[in-house]
Amino acid sequence: MPPIKIIRLAAASATYDIHVGGGLLGSLHARLQRLARGKPYRPFLITSPNIWKLWAEEVRSSFPEAQSPTVLFVPAGEKYKRMATVEALAEQLAEAGADRDALLLAFGGGVIGDITGFLAAIYMRGVPYVQIPTTLLAQVDSSVGGKTGVNLAAGKNLVGAFHHPRAVFADTDLLRTLPPAELNAGLQESIKAGIIRDAKLFRLLEQQQEEIRAGDPVALTRVIAASIQVKAGVVAQDERESSLRMILNFGHTLGHAIEAATGYSKLLHGEAVAWGSIAALYVAFSRNRITGKEFARMANLILAYGPLPRFRASAQQLVDLTAADKKTRSGRRAFILPTCVGHAEVVFDATDAELLQAADAMLSDMKRLTKHKVAS
């Protein structure tokens, strides 16, 4: 078993540790007690039935019977990341007598993490919570950084709060039950982290592809810890996304457009980001920000963690959809471009025409690379 890696996130409003490695679940109770510094706490664990079915025994056995967490359920799926779910959970907490001694435990992927974090931010005007992410995406991305929230009919993550967890326990054992497509999609966020800020992580993803895809715990622990380090480093400098944090959106402008164009149902988030990243690479290449060799190296790594599914959308449709996702600064769109492996910059002058050309090139690649697959 590889040793546990600990990454400290020190942001303006909170400092906490993110623990990564195998076997963390077994010592969960002791770790939570240490976190509570001997003060009594009541654990309320929020999860989905499908996840709990796989991991309940392991989690329960970490706690003495009298301190076993009260478990609250949310059905699996993005469609339950809504205010109604948060309200129902708050009612259940109140009914169970949860007060300020409550410690919420988010045990699931990004959906459970975002819901639980938001619930913790507003229940009794704020109670502490801990993230125990069970998907790779949640381990490398959503459990870290304090963004919490839910969706509205009008769009994703439109209601929320900044509320950091007290700690994050990312147990790599949990990934054993994750479908391979979910693992690969999550790894796209690690590739993103490598491209924008960590050439060594990028190389690790290139060189240990087989081990990583097979779920080797040593390789995965290294990848996850390095990815978290990138996010924690960026968030520490720019908690509220006024500047630097924007680089974490590499691949996401067109990625979000692809998700919207396909009704959030055909592709996993990481798969949409992967195609969006390839389009962003085309923009960088046509501006001579990266060489053809660098373009190929980055695109090849993205494609290696596939296969990426094909989708139906036109370049124009995608560019039109980016309007809804514009991260604007005085009306200007922020767009993230790599300048080499391990470094990226934010530009504000990417035009619709540039994005159209890049989206078109990406769509041609997609058709060429997936031509033997039946389009759904």
Ligand X SMILES: NC(=O)c1ccc[n+]([C@@H]2O[C@H](COP(=O)([O-])OP(=O)(O)OC[C@H]3O[C@@H](n4cnc5c(N)ncnc54)[C@H](O)[C@@H]3O)[C@@H](O)[C@H]2O)c1
Could you tell me which of 202, 368, 345 has the C-alpha nearest to residue 287?
A: 345
At closest approach, how far in Å is the CB of 166 from ligand X?
16
Site map 64..83 versus ligand X, x via CB under 6 A:
------------x-x--x--
- Asked if residue 233 lies in contact with residue 197, where contact means CB atoms within 8 angstroms, the answer is yes
Give the pair of three-digit tokens for residue 261.
């164009």
d(CA 106, CA 145): 14
Host H or E run for residue 355: helix 352-369
Q: Which of 31, 249, 259, 310 is catalytic?
A: 249
The C-alpha atoms of residue 361 and residue 122 are separated, in whole angstroms, by 45
Helices (H), 287-333: 292-304, 315-322
Per CB under 6 A, the segment of 93-101, 139-147, 288-296, 315-323 that binds ligand X is: 139-147
How far is Cα 261 from Cα 266, in angstroms, rounded to an integer?
10
| Interactions with ligand X, residue window 72-131 (CB under 6 A) | 76, 78, 81, 108-112, 114
Which position among 269, 289, 310, 333 bears the catalytic label?
269
d(CA 164, CA 171): 19
Which residue of 19, 29, 31, 147 would you call a contact of ligand X, by CB under 6 A? 147
Taking the complex as a whole, the smallest distance from the CB of residue 372 to ligand X amounts, in Å, to 27
Residue 338 engages ligand X in binding (rule: CB under 6 A): no
Is 151 an annotated catalytic residue? no
Residue from 85, 116, 135, 172 touching ligand X (CB under 6 A): that is 135
Rounded-to-integer distance, Cα 95 and Cα 328, Å:
43
3-42: contacts with ligand X (CB under 6 A): none
Name the residue number minimizing CB distance to ligand X: 110
Length of the chain: 376
Q: Which residues pair with 337 in a beta bridge?
A: 345
Closest separation in Å from C-beta 79 to ligand X: 10
Q: Does 50 bind ligand X (CB under 6 A)?
A: yes
From the candidates 192, 256, 310, 333, which is the catalytic residue?
256
Question: Does residue 147 carry a catalytic annotation?
Answer: yes
241 is catalytic: yes
Q: Which helix (H) or strand (E) holds 228?
A: helix 217-237
172-211 binders of ligand X (CB under 6 A): 174, 177-178, 182
Q: Which residues pair with 72 in a beta bridge?
A: 46
Supply the residues annotated as catalytic: 125, 147, 189, 231, 241, 245, 249, 252, 256, 269
Residues lying near ligand X in the complex (CB under 6 A) are found at: 48, 50-51, 54, 76, 78, 81, 108-112, 114, 134-135, 137-138, 141-142, 145, 147, 156-157, 174, 177-178, 182, 269
